[in-house]
Amino acid sequence: MYAVIKTGGKQYRVEVGNKLKVEKLNANVGDTVEFDALMVRDDEGNVHVDKGKVVAEVKAHGLGKKVVVFKYRPKKNYRRWKGHRQPFTEIEIKEIKL
């Protein structure tokens, strides 16, 4: 059984026991969060659209790898470095409900 959920503007295919990093959620570590399922495929192979819920537990919060933004203009002595680390939330899928 698997489901497709949407969070943070992205879609993820999840199964029970999966751990994944999603865009930062406003939840504390140890909290459970619920996502609406866009699609659920059960064990018999039947597809259910816009039905079901996915229950996940928040495992950790963190920052991703640094992305360097570098601006440069030749012959003008113009150089700018900026770094960005995208915040994320790590979740573990506990249950898929129909």
How many angstroms separate the CA atoms of 15 and 40, rounded?
10
How many angstroms separate the CA atoms of 43 and 82, rounded?
48
**Confidence band of 9 (pLDDT split at 50, 70, 90):** very high
Overall domain count for the chain: 1
pLDDT for res 48: 95
Query: Average pLDDT for residues 12-30, to the nearest whole number?
Result: 97
pLDDT for res 15: 96
Name the token pair of 85: 């680390």
Query: Average pLDDT for residues 12-16, to the nearest whole number?
Result: 97
Query: pLDDT, tens digit, for every residue of 42-94?
Result: 999 999 999 999 999 999 999 999 999 999 999 999 999 999 999 999 999 99
pLDDT for res 14: 97
pLDDT for res 90: 98
Domain region containing 66: 2-97
